[in-house]
Structures are given as C-alpha cells and as structure tokens.
Structure 1
Amino acid sequence: MDTSAWSSDDLAPPDGAAWDLVVVGGGTAGLVAAKTAAGFGASVLLVERDRIGGDCLWIGCVPSKTLLSAAHAAHAARTAVQYGIEVRQVTVDFPAVMAHVHQVITTIEPTDSPAAMRAAGVCAAHGSAKFTGPNIVAVEGVPVTFRQALIATGAAPVMPPIPGLAQAEPLTNESVFGLTRLPDRLLVLGGGNIGCELGQAFARLGSHVTIVEAAERLLAREDPDAAQLVTRALTADGVQLRTGVAVTSVRPDGSAWSAVLADGSEIGFDTVLVAVGRRPRTSDLGLEVAGVELDDRGQVRVDARLRTTNPRIWAAGDLTGHPQFTHTAGVHGTLAAANAVLGLRRRVDLTSIPRVTFTQPEVAAVGVGLERARALGLTVQTVEHDEVDRAIAEQYTAGFSRLVLDGKGRVVGATIVGPRAGESLAEAVLAARHGLRARDIAGSTHAYPTYSDGLWKAAIAQVQEQLTAGVTGRAVHALATVRRWTLRAR
C-alpha cells in the first residue's frame, strides 16, 4: 500500500469531533462498505495494515483463477486431439505463468488503490488498528474517535499442529503465489475447494500432486455426485488422492520430505501446500475493550443486521462466521454500511448465497443440497449433461444440472456441474432469492445452445410431471379430451 499520500494529520475527522464510520480492514467487505458509506455523504476512514485489496486481490480469487486459466489452457492444448486438432508439444514456462499471474494483479490493483478510495471520498490510512474503548480506535497509537465502526479484517489460513510440518516450510494460499519454480512433488493437505483448485492447477502445469483429505471424500460440503465428478477429473489429471485418512507427522527424507499418514503409509514430497481451513483475524484488535464478543471459534458475534454486541460497531466478511466468499463479503459490507450510516434495519439473507469451486468441471451450488433435500423429503430434478446439446458439441458431458424444490414448486436449491457452472447458476440464485417456481424458469425462453439448457430442462421436467400427475394430471387429461372432441365436431 502506498503510504506516501497520507500522514497522521489525516486521522483527524473532518468535523473535528468523530468520524461517521471507521472501517478496519481493506479487503472486499471493508472497501465496499467504505465506498458505500462515503456515497451516502458520511465521513469515512479506512484503515489497512497491509495492502488495500485484501485476500481476493493479492492471494485469493484473482491470482488463483489466473493460475487456473493457465493450467486449463495447457490441458486444453494436450486434449485438443478430441476435436481433430493435434498439438504436438505442450511446454509450461512456470516463471512466465507466474509473471502473468502477477501482471493480472497489477492490472486490477488500481481499482482498489488508496487513490481510488480518495476519489470515492474515503480517507485511507496505513497502519495497525486496535480498539481502546467502545468508540475509540488507535491507529498506529493515534486515538481516533468514531460514531460507528465496521470490522472487516477477514480470515487467515489455519496451520494444523502436525509434528514436523513447520520445518517443511509449508505454503498456504498466502504464499503459494510467490513460487518461482514449479514443484516436482506437491503434497496438498485438504480436499476442499482451495485444495482441489490448486491441486488440479499444479497437476496440469506439470507437478506430481497428492491430495490428502481426512474426510471420506473431497468437497465434503458439496453434493456427493458433484464431488464424485471432480474426483474423477482430478484422477484423470494424474492427481493421487488419499481420503479418509489424516497426516500424523512430517519427517525429513533425504533432501526432501515424507508425510506419515494415520494408516502407517508415507507420501514423499518436495513442497507442501496447506489448505485445511481459515480462522478469523480477530485476536489482536482489542475487541474485548470495545465490548465486542467473539464465539468459541474466534468469530465476531453479529445479529441479523451485522451489528456486534457493541451497538456502535458492525462486522462483515470472513470474520463473522458467514460463508467465506468474496461476493458475500461485498454484499454484507454494503448492508452493514447502510445500516450503520443510515440507521436502516436491513437483514442478511443466508439462504441464497452461491458458491463455486473453480475446478474443471466447475461445481456451483446455492441453497439446499441433495442430501438435505432427501432428508426433508423435497423434490429433486436432475438433468445429466449428455442431454444438453452444448455439452455434447463441446464433448464435455460429465456434468449435470439439479434443482431442489419445495412442496409448492419453489426453487430452494440448485447444483450445476460443468463448464462455466458459476454463470449458469445465477438464474437459480435469483429464483431462490425471490421464491420463484420451476414453472417460472420453464416459462422463460432460454438461448440455445447453452449450458443453461440443463437448468431449463430440469424445470421443464418438473412442470411436465405436475401436469401429468394427481388431480392436475386428471384435469389436464380431461381438458385435452374435451378439446379433441370439440375439434372433431367441427
């Protein structure tokens, strides 16, 4: 972060009394909240101790998806023969790939820069912030008074207490994008979305990758059918998978390392990437002095309006215990800022938050999943992508579109597996958010041929079932019979 453009004098509120809103943390939630509040005419101070832009820009969404795009391009070249196109040799220049990753970060960075904040009416300050009272926060030791404050310091990777792991200098998503050499043997601890995404990326770039997941399957929070398709894709990419077993220790093995598993087996590796979860960054903010309570996981307790136990202080983003996605942080940052500055009483909606795992195939989901749908007795409609013409044309039929519907036919969940699944999911998110029914999707004309045909066909299948079953089916049959006789009589 450029610290040359501000001084401690900038910490003084414009009215000489107090800032309308002090935002602690310059990631997605903090940036969006600060801009929102400034747009309402509030005086806003944004404090960031590292780099404005947060995890998403520097170590999350932007670099990971850029790396994945390079890896998928290499894979597409290797498999182009299925379309009658032969690429004789595919080589990966890993330093050039990483240079591309950092160039993309550099291109996007100005959007979140201190200059951009100032242009939006936000005063951006660099330094550590610590609450010293219910309405005072010290920025690099300088006391700053506020009328309202928002905590948006995000979360950090969890490092499991595995004996010997620290000596192996493990990477996390915070450090992996600093690599300048492609790992030969990469061990990934964790088979969630980060582990699967980066594991597949490095495998397609040329690393020998092993993923170890303590749960019985990868992507344990996702639809089991979706997880199975990702498992098959990773296996086809040459990734070795060990599920249902944990790493108990790490020890030196010559010039490399060896991970000892609970079943006694060992896995050799040169580089290890840890992706077993994230914990909130709340330990050094002085929240107890400010009257802000944490739960037993260190997450800030917030109500449905994102207000903490201190009525002057709000929280948004990964530190709240809500789904840890950039889009969630952004939406909640806006909501918290509006509630704080305007005195609104808007509530968060946690029922229709989309999530996407950007493997190939992508896994996109919202709302109620398959296992819970079955437990609740809800209706599930699935269309395999071998029934979707676009998937057939692109020879990528290993996927499906699935709708979950309540007793009134309203969309309460969806899962899509396939190319650009995150884009296709948007329609289901809208439907779930506004209580739309399958018939609303079925009755809307969809562009052809697209992958969204899968969701459309699932909705059509549900409508057709309703029209042919029970009282409705008998009524439709009777109407068709009357119509047929009427036409014959003419």
Structure 2
Amino acid sequence: MADFDVDLFVIGAGSGGVRAARIAAGYGAKAVVAEEFRVGGTCVIRGCVPKKLMVYASRFADDFADAAGFGWIVAKPSFDWSKLVAAKEQEISRLSAIYRANLSKAGVTILDSRAEVLDPHTVRIVADGRTMRARFILVATGGAPVLEPDVPGREHAITSNEVFDLAELPERMVIVGGGYIAVEFASIFARLGTHVTLAVRSDNVLRGFDEDMRVGVRDALRHAGVDFKFGMLPIRIEKKAKGFDVCLTKGELIDADQVMIATGRRPHTFGLGLEKAGVALDRVGAVKVDEFSKTNVNSIYAVGDVTNRVALTPVAIREGHAFADTVFGGKPTAVSHANIPTAVFTTPELGTVGLTEAEARESYDCVDIYEACFRPLKATLSGRQDKTMMKIVVDGLTDRVLGVHVLGDDAGEMAQLLGIAVNLGAKKADFDATMAVHPTSAEELVTMRTRTARHLRETIGEEGPGAAVGDS
C-alpha cells in the first residue's frame, strides 16, 4: 500500500456501500466510507423502512373498523400524525446507529462528509479538503427523486424525501405519478384520512407490472377514496395564503394542502467528479458497469441504484457483497438480476416474482395462465369487500413456472418464498404436488388446477380459500 492510503474508499453509506465495506474489511482490506447525510442510505432514512412503518399505521384504520365484525366494541379512534413522525424518527435513528456500529466493529472508518472523485485513485473529502488515495473506489450514492414535470411553481412541491417529516397531516393532497412510490403514498395518506388526488400521465398505474394486478391496485385505491386523474399532469402550482392551487393539463383546478411529485428517481451522480476520472455514464447519469459492477476504469466500481440496473435495496446489498467477494475475496461473483421478488406496499399489497403475462407471451410460444380471485376469510366477518387476486404464469410446453403475482394481505411475504421456487425452476406440477396449508389465502397457489379462460377470469375462486380444495 505504499502508494495508497486505503484499499477501498466507498462513497455513500447506504445499503450497498455499507455491505461492501464490511465484507471487504472482513477480507482484511483497509476501508473508508464517506457519507454526506446519514448512515443507512435512502432505504433506512427516507425510503423502505419509514414507508413501511407508515403503511402499518395506515392499516389500523381498517383494523379498527373490522374489529366490530369479530365482536369487539371499539371506541371511535383518533390519529396523531406528530406521534407517528416522532416514533418513525426514533426508529430510523436507532437503525442508523446500528449501521454505524456495525461498520466500526468491522474496522471501517466513517467520514461524515461528501466525497468527490479526482482521478482513478484519488478522492477529495469535501468537509476538510484533504485527499486520499485508494486502491479501489466504490460509488454507492444511490438515487434521488426527480422533480418533473418542470412547471411553474414546481418548487412548492415535496418529494419522497420530505414527505416523512411533514409538520401536519394534510387534509387534501395531490400526488403526481403512477409508479410504486406514488401509489404507496396514495394508499397511506388515503387511509390516514387525507383526500388524495392522484394525477397520472398514462391510463393506469404501475407500468411494467402484470396488467391484472395493475387493475386490481387501481380499483383498491379507488375503493379507499383516491381520486384518479388519468392522462393529466400539473401545468402550474400556485401558492395561496393556505395551501396550493394545482392546475392540471385538462384545465381542472385542484385545491391542495400539499403537492407531492413522485414521477421517478435518477442516479445520484451529479457533482461526484466521475467524468474527471473518465468513468462512463449513460444518458440519465447512471454509472455504466459490467456484470461484476466494474466501470470502464479498472479501479472504480459502482453498485446499487446509482447504476440504474434494478433499484431495490436487496439488490444493492447483493451487489455490494459480490463486489467485495470479487475484488478482495478472490471469488469473482456476478449478480443475477432475473426473477427478483418484489412488493408494492399499497393496501392490499402486491407481491410479484418473474414474468408478467404479457412478458411471457412475448418470449414463449405457449403460455398457460392460472388465476384465482376470492374474498379472504377475514373479510367474511369484517364485512370488508376486499378481494385477493393470484396469477401463475406457466410455460405451456415445459410446465415451468415463469411468474407469480399476488394482490392481497401479506403478498410481499408470499413473494419472498415464491421467489425461491421460481429461481429453482419449479414446475406447475411441483406447486400442485405441494400440500396446502388450510385455511390460508396462500393455499390457492397450490390448488389452482384449471387453466384460465379469459372470459371466466372474474368468477374463478369466488368462494374463497378452502371452498373447493383440489378442484379449483
């Protein structure tokens, strides 16, 4: 290390960067991590974790209402937004401290500063201006919300960064976007009592997900009170004495206390100095990497959302670990981005793994579809009209399961386990040969026997789980 101060300099202490630094240190590398905000990254500080806590909070409204059907007499509940925000902050601070402690235990040095790349081996720590020479540099700076469309008054809007710390719960809120962040927050705020208007450029939400699931999420949000404005975007946001006027493309004027723009995220590479080091970026600013997360500069690697491959926390963690194994562990490891299970935490939530029906039909000559749509057991006494939807996409020639999609309670939990089966190349016959757990919603996944005729979709499984086990 005569010419280097450290073996590894990581820019960004999010999930991917932290994992990479810890594993590299475990291999004996001298590692440093620089973070300009808070250790833990988007997921822990202003992403997955606080969002899921708010999802839980929003679902209590339904739980209180449902309790009466099960014999409980519950006084009219009230909700205190400030208590939720304070509790959320306490939890993410605890998690951030754990991340810091784990880095320290691993022998990783933490620098609370922004860092910039000067050349293939040199990094400048902005807080004090000093430079460090590193054998390898890892860029793990994640992504940042995009404030689009660029319209007059855009500066008055908030993003998913600010939404967790609002001073008070808005009575009326306009959310712009149709992706998973937009629909999740629409679901959260609608259930907390906010009147939510969702402005979506296209004619449906969740582009890229299975079409039937998209329709199911849209209908569930509408049932929760979300007011959709499809084919519309803001053209002007005007600040008033109290709140805002949001003018949409078709001339409609919406009165709102808050306007949230959730139209996407971009890799956070601006101002990092990567171009000075010769690192290639794509048209949206993502760092271009190979299957081992190496850039076109041999000493510089990148993992996580900053590469714009698959913007999910577990993917960043896996990529960070694989990087350390490859560079410091002598075990070249490429991460597969196929069949990644994921969830959209609306209520009900969407869990999915593998190909959608449309994707399968584009790539396979024969595709079989198995579907179920039923009222879950809990809803029979609560009186709730929610439905659970399930779809299994199968290669009709080999019987291999190509994708599974679930919309309903605990769908995210199901998707994690379904991901194992799909990754192992399970066949529909393997699902059929698995004994059902009764009574559960998940049992429908192993009791669907009849290929779906498209015109019968609405009636399949209508009687619910266990009604006709083995015959559905």
Query: Same fold, TM exceeding 0.5?
Result: yes
Q: CA offsets per residue over residues 64-85 of structure 1, 9 Å max, x none? A: 1111111101222134334444
Q: CA offsets per residue over residues 407-451 of structure 1, 9 Å max, x none? A: 312222221111110111123211222222222333333433333
Partner residue, 1:117: 103
Q: Structure 2: how far apart are the matches of 1:279 and 1:250? A: 23
1:279-294 alignment to 2 at 5 Å? 279-294=266-281
Cα distance change on mapping 1:91 and 1:288 into 2, 3 Å: same
Please, which moves more after superposition, 288-297 or 436-445? Answer: 436-445
Partner residue, 1:480: none
Please, which moves more after superposition, 195-204 or 397-406? Answer: 397-406
Cα distance change on mapping 1:172 and 1:249 into 2, 3 Å: same
Match of 2:182 among 195, 207, 225: 195
Q: CA offsets per residue over residues 312-340 of structure 1, 9 Å max, x none? A: 11111101111211111111111122112
1:368 offset after TM fit, Å?
Answer: 0.8
Q: Structure 2: how far apart are the matches of 1:202 and 1:228? A: 20
Partner residue, 2:153: 165
Q: Structure 1: how far apart are the matches of 2:320 and 2:381? A: 41
Q: Structure 2: how far apart are the matches of 1:77 and 1:284? A: 49
1:263-282 alignment to 2 at 5 Å? 263-282=250-269
Cα distance change on mapping 1:256 and 1:125 into 2, 3 Å: closer
Please, which moves more after superposition, 73-82 or 272-281? Answer: 73-82
Q: Secondary structure at the match of 2:318?
A: helix
The two structures, once aligned, show a CA RMSD in angstroms of 2.2
Q: Structure 2: how far apart are the matches of 1:18 and 1:95? A: 46
Q: Structure 2: how far apart are the matches of 1:126 and 1:16? A: 24
Instruction: Point out the structure with max Rg over C-alpha.
Output: 1
1:197-276 alignment to 2 at 5 Å? 197-253=184-240, 255-276=242-263
1:174-193 alignment to 2 at 5 Å? 174-193=161-180
Partner residue, 1:329: 316
Partner residue, 1:356: 343
Q: Structure 1: how far apart are the matches of 2:209 and 2:69? A: 30
Partner residue, 1:440: 430
Query: Do 1:74 and 1:92's aligned partners in 2 also have CA atoms closer than 8 Å?
Result: no
Determine if the alignment matches structure 1 residue 107 to structure 2 residue 97.
Answer: no
Q: Secondary structure at the match of 2:275?
A: helix
Determine if the alignment matches structure 1 residue 77 to structure 2 residue 64.
Answer: yes
Determine if the alignment matches structure 1 residue 147 to structure 2 residue 135.
Answer: yes
Query: Do 1:162 and 1:250's aligned partners in 2 also have CA atoms closer than 8 Å?
Result: no
Please, which moves more after superposition, 257-266 or 448-457? Answer: 448-457
1:454 offset after TM fit, Å?
Answer: 2.4
Unmatched tracts of structure 2, length 5 or more: 452-472
Determine if the alignment matches structure 1 residue 129 to structure 2 residue 119.
Answer: no
Q: Which amino acid aligns with 1:132?
A: L
1:192 offset after TM fit, Å?
Answer: 1.4
Q: Structure 2: how far apart are the matches of 1:205 and 1:93? A: 10
Q: Which amino acid aligns with 1:426?
A: Q
Q: CA offsets per residue over residues 344-375 of structure 1, 9 Å max, x none? A: 33222111112210011111112211222233
Q: Secondary structure at the match of 2:403?
A: strand
1:467-478 alignment to 2 at 5 Å? none
Cα distance change on mapping 1:84 and 1:446 into 2, 3 Å: same
Please, which moves more after superposition, 83-92 or 238-247? Answer: 83-92
Please, which moves more after superposition, 441-450 or 120-129? Answer: 441-450
Q: Structure 2: how far apart are the matches of 1:423 and 1:202? A: 23
Q: Secondary structure at the match of 2:335?
A: coil
Q: Structure 2: how far apart are the matches of 1:199 and 1:27? A: 26
1:389 offset after TM fit, Å?
Answer: 5.9
Query: Do 1:306 and 1:336's aligned partners in 2 also have CA atoms closer than 8 Å?
Result: yes
Q: Secondary structure at the match of 1:156?
A: strand
1:96 offset after TM fit, Å?
Answer: 1.4
Q: Structure 2: how far apart are the matches of 1:424 and 1:246? A: 35
Partner residue, 1:386: 374
Cα distance change on mapping 1:391 and 1:370 into 2, 3 Å: farther
Q: Which amino acid aligns with 2:94?
A: T
Q: Secondary structure at the match of 1:112?
A: helix
Query: Do 1:384 and 1:400's aligned partners in 2 also have CA atoms closer than 8 Å?
Result: yes
Q: CA offsets per residue over residues 227-276 of structure 1, 9 Å max, x none? A: 22222221222111111222222224553321111112121111111111
Match of 2:352 among 351, 355, 365: 365
1:393 offset after TM fit, Å?
Answer: 7.7
Cα distance change on mapping 1:388 and 1:93 into 2, 3 Å: closer
Determine if the alignment matches structure 1 residue 453 to structure 2 residue 423.
Answer: no
1:165 offset after TM fit, Å?
Answer: 2.6
Determine if the alignment matches structure 1 residue 375 to structure 2 residue 362.
Answer: yes
Match of 1:404 among 393, 399, 413: 393
Q: Structure 1: how far apart are the matches of 2:332 and 2:26? A: 18
Q: Structure 1: how far apart are the matches of 2:237 and 2:180? A: 24
Query: Do 1:396 and 1:418's aligned partners in 2 also have CA atoms closer than 8 Å?
Result: no
Query: What is the aligned length?
Result: 446
Query: Do 1:156 and 1:278's aligned partners in 2 also have CA atoms closer than 8 Å?
Result: yes
Q: CA offsets per residue over residues 86-108 of structure 1, 9 Å max, x none? A: 43412111111222222222332
Query: Do 2:69 and 2:381's aligned partners in 1 also have CA atoms closer than 8 Å?
Result: no
Q: Structure 2: how far apart are the matches of 1:347 and 1:393? A: 49
Q: Structure 2: how far apart are the matches of 1:187 and 1:41? A: 51
Q: Secondary structure at the match of 2:440?
A: coil
1:405 offset after TM fit, Å?
Answer: 2.1
Cα distance change on mapping 1:453 and 1:392 into 2, 3 Å: farther
Q: Secondary structure at the match of 2:270?
A: coil
Please, which moves more after superposition, 35-44 or 337-346? Answer: 337-346
Q: Which amino acid aligns with 2:437?
A: A
Please, which moves more after superposition, 410-419 or 366-375? Answer: 366-375
Please, which moves more after superposition, 81-90 or 429-438? Answer: 81-90
Point out the structure with the larger helix share. Answer: 1
Q: CA offsets per residue over residues 113-170 of structure 1, 9 Å max, x none? A: 2x32110221111112111111111223222112222110000000014333335x21
Q: Structure 1: how far apart are the matches of 2:377 and 2:70? A: 16
Determine if the alignment matches structure 1 residue 156 to structure 2 residue 156.
Answer: no
Q: Which amino acid aligns with 1:439?
A: A
Q: CA offsets per residue over residues 21-55 of structure 1, 9 Å max, x none? A: 21110001101111111122222111111111011
